[in-house]
Amino acid sequence: PRKIIIDTDPGQDDAVAILLALASPDEMEVLGLTCVAGNVPLALTSKNARIVCELAGRPDVKVFAGCDRPLGRDLVTAEHVHGATGLNGPNLPDPTMPLQPDHAVDFLIDTLRAEPAGTVTLCPLGPLTNLAQAFRKAPDIVEKVQEIVLMGGAYFEVGNITPAAEFNIHVDPQAAEIVFRSGAPIVVMPLDVTHKALVTRPRNDAFRALGTPVGRAVAEMTDFFERFDKEKYGSAGAPLHDPCVTAYLIDPTLFSGRFVNVEIETQSELTMGMTVADWWGVTDRAPNAMFMGDVRADAFFALLTERLARL
């Protein structure tokens, strides 16, 4: 299995991404979860991550708290999407497993330093603050990264937090710029993909029909989280953004895209955090990311449901 670190701000869709990873030990070994401020403040994301591990029956997973605010801007949160706790929907007990004492950035640095070059995959599901801090403090760790598979950005689908920008990149554009310029191999799951991975009614019913605490919780999470997209975009259900990242590690052929140059807007308030992807190759800027554009959604949901059944 690939060694992975999931950097996350749960978030119902983050929760499903984590559950999918923990259900797939043949494909990925989760070295730890590093939490960041994003959908809700850090105290809640680092609590929610532990709630999710306990739901999966995995109180042994190491969970670290990281940066509580973006590198250079005020924190923007998304309670309007995820609810006051970030994990509204199911009624899940408070965690009893501990938070690890180390800072997430130190865990990232120490873990990457201890591993051979090109062997650890990073899976960011929130703002890129923790990763950027780690790369800034310890540039030597970049070569240890096998791949960064992240949820963030948009091209044709443009924005969900501003007209021009996707939430994760908008919250910390400076951090995103550091990561996209790091030279590490990057795979991007933008809104162009995730807005095709919609939890329609039959897909939600399939989660519930698992008849397990995990299946029920995922059905209730996606029920809650779909209100926003249904009301806002007239979408057929909740977009399952972050699970695209962990699904990619199981079956990359679910996704298709282009290897292109991606630059991050860090100056203009109007378009702050926009991912300027050179989809049509109109510049001579060097490609730095595999920018996905499509997903085979039925196969994605079949895989997800089959894996969640294992928990």
- 13-44 per-residue burial string, b: 16 or more CB within 10 A, e: under 16: bbbbbbbbbbbbeebbebbbbbbbbbbbbbeb
Contact residue for ligand BDR among 20, 53, 122, 125 (CB under 6 A): 125
Total residues interacting with ligand BDR, rule: CB under 6 A: 15
**Residue 78 contacts which entry, ligand BDR, Ca ion, none (Cβ below 5-8 A, type-dependent):** ligand BDR
Per CB under 6 A, contacts with ligand BDR among 230-259 are: 241-242
Task: Closer to Ca ion by CB, 11 or 260: give it.
Answer: 11
Q: Using CB under 6 A, which residues numbered 268 to 307 contact ligand BDR?
A: none
The verdict on 229 binding ligand BDR (CB under 6 A) reads no
Minimum distance from CB of 278 to ligand BDR (Å)? 21
Size of the chain in residues:
311
**Is the Cβ of residue 71 or residue 244 nearer to ligand BDR in the bound state?**
244
Residue with Cβ nearer ligand BDR (141 or 254): 254
Cβ atoms 78, 39 nearer than 8 A: yes
CB within 8 Å of 110: residues ≥ 6 apart:
102
Smallest separation (angstroms) from ligand BDR to the CB of 215: 20
For residue 131, give the amino acid letter. Answer: L
Is residue 106 within a helix (H) or strand (E), and if so which, with residue range? helix 104-114
- DSSP, residue by residue, 147-166: EEEEE---STT--SSSSS--
Q: What is the DSSP letter of 276?
A: E
Which is closer to Ca ion, CB of 151 or CB of 272? Answer: 151
11 is a site residue for ligand BDR (CB under 6 A): yes
Contact call for residues 200 and 236 (beta carbons, < 8 A): yes
- 241 is an active site residue: yes
Q: Tokens standing for 103?
A: 């800072």
**Of residues 4, 11, 28, 71, which one binds Ca ion by CB under 5 A?**
11
Would you count residue 151 as binding ligand BDR (CB under 6 A)? Answer: yes
* Residue 126 in the binding site for Ca ion (CB under 5 A): yes
Q: Which of 107, 135, 167, 300 binds ligand BDR (CB under 6 A)?
A: 167
Q: Going residue by residue from 223 to 242, which x/- string records binding to Ca ion, judged by CB under 5 A? A: -------------------x
Smallest Cα–Cα separation from 179: which of 294, 253, 70? 70
Per-residue burial over 88-107, b if 16 or more Cβ lie within 10 Å, else e, is bbbebeebebebbebbbbbb
Residues 168-197 that bind ligand BDR (CB under 6 A): 168
> Residues interacting with ligand BDR, by CB under 6 A?
11, 13-14, 39, 78, 81, 125-126, 151, 160, 166-168, 241-242
- Residues annotated as catalytic are 241
